[in-house]
Amino acid sequence: MHAAQLLLLLACASLANAAPMPVIRWLVHDFPPYEIASGKDKGEGIADHYREALIRHFPQYQHVVEQVSVQRREEMMRRSDQPMCAITMFKNAEREVFARFSRRPYQYLLPPRLIALPDVAKSLGAAQAGEDISLVKAVANGQHLIGLHPRRRFGSAIDSQLQQIQQRQPDALRYFQETGEASLSNLLSLLSKGRFDLTLGYTSEVEYLRRKHPELPTLTFLPIQGSGQLLPGHVSCNRTPIGEALIADVDRLDDHAQLEESVRSEYEALLTVEERRRYQKLHPGIK
């Protein structure tokens, strides 16, 4: 046997005996401008870009991107023994049971706002007084309804208020199924048609939509009681050995600060001038 043939056989045997590359399933859903899972801008969201940067940093894993609904993503991460990770699942005590979150946030978001048409906003006494709005009090008189997507989370303080309403006054919450890229746009359309009076969302979401759909109605954004100043975003993986290993790798990244800066720049570009000033004042990484 020639030496070249022997080397080839040895190489093939080595490949055959090599351990298979561990697979990471990245679960994404339509959450513009963070994750854009459909349409002509597919893959061009802020979190999409960050996820792709992580994939380039970790070639030791085989990365598979899979589109799912918010509800399906949480069910899969909770129940599956396969490694699954997400970029836009916010950290809370309930989720920490089945998911490990990166130690350092890759992004900080301004908190969600209560969104209303101007006339409805004027009817809320706290808004008139310049105070933060209690969601529980906003619907207490039975005159206002809140429209939402099921399973969407906004941080512990807001989620707690919604849970109180669900327990005390469930008819005040109207749930609508997700419809992909146009989810928030559809909610805002229903809001303008009077199907409900209030909804929740991020101003950056609305600004992104307004650039694509300038026909969106004039909206008022109201601060929500207890929502805090900034909401941290973490990478998360379900508690499997490979998922835990990937989070540990994220925590050890030497140039994570550079990735954070890139995410922050993209995010700031979507804020109004007023919101950008507020964000830069509150961000812990901006002196």
CATH number of the domain where residue 163 is located: 3.40.190.10
Instruction: Give Cα separations from 177 to 104, 148, 150 (angstroms).
Output: 32, 9, 7
Q: Is residue 242 part of a domain?
A: yes
Asked if 214 and 119 sit in the same domain, the reply is yes
Among residues 122, 149, 143, 125, the alpha carbon closest in space to that of 218 is found at 122
Most confident of 92-96, 180-184, 195-199: 195-199
Asked if 81 and 28 sit in the same domain, the reply is yes
Q: Is residue 48 part of a domain?
A: yes
Asked if 85 and 158 sit in the same domain, the reply is no
- Can you give the pLDDT at residue 127? 60
Q: Is residue 53 part of a domain?
A: yes
* Average pLDDT, integer, range 236-257: 96
DSSP string covering 57-74? H-TTSEEEEEE--HHHHH
Asked if 142 and 57 sit in the same domain, the reply is no
38-42, 145-149, 197-201, 245-249: which has the minimum mean pLDDT? 38-42
Q: Is residue 10 part of a domain?
A: no
Q: Residues 149-158: pLDDT tens digits?
A: 887 888 888 9
Contacts of 209 (CB under 8 A, 6+ apart): 32, 184, 185, 188, 216
Asked if 278 and 141 sit in the same domain, the reply is no
Asked if 273 and 177 sit in the same domain, the reply is no
Asked if 119 and 102 sit in the same domain, the reply is no
Q: Is residue 214 part of a domain?
A: yes
Asked if 99 and 160 sit in the same domain, the reply is no
Kindly state the greatest CA–CA separation across the chain: 90
Q: Residues 257-287: pLDDT tens digits?
A: 999 999 999 999 999 898 899 999 998 876 5
Q: Is residue 8 part of a domain?
A: no
Boundary (domain end) residue, out of 222, 244, 273: 222
**pLDDT reading at 212 higher than 60:** yes
Mean pLDDT for the chain overall: 88
Say how many domains are in the chain: 2
Boundary (domain end) residue, out of 198, 222, 246: 222
Token readout for 13 is 């045997």
Q: Residues 16-50: pLDDT tens digits?
A: 455 689 999 999 988 899 999 888 899 999 999 99
Boundary (domain end) residue, out of 222, 253, 271: 222
Q: Is residue 3 part of a domain?
A: no
Contacts of 135 (CB under 8 A, 6+ apart): 114, 146, 158, 161, 162, 165, 224, 225
Give the predicted TM-score (pTM) of the model.
Answer: 0.83
Where helices occur in the chain by DSSP H, the ranges are: 3-17, 46-57, 70-79, 93-96, 118-122, 125-128, 135-138, 156-168, 183-192, 203-212, 241-251, 256-268, 273-282
Contacts of 63 (CB under 8 A, 6+ apart): 23, 24, 26, 55
Asked if 103 and 119 sit in the same domain, the reply is no
Range of the domain at 140: 113-222
Most confident of 4-8, 30-34, 126-130, 265-269: 265-269
Q: Is residue 93 part of a domain?
A: yes
Asked if 35 and 171 sit in the same domain, the reply is no
Asked if 210 and 270 sit in the same domain, the reply is no
Token readout for 240 is 């499997």
Asked if 27 and 118 sit in the same domain, the reply is no
**pLDDT reading at 3 higher than 90:** no
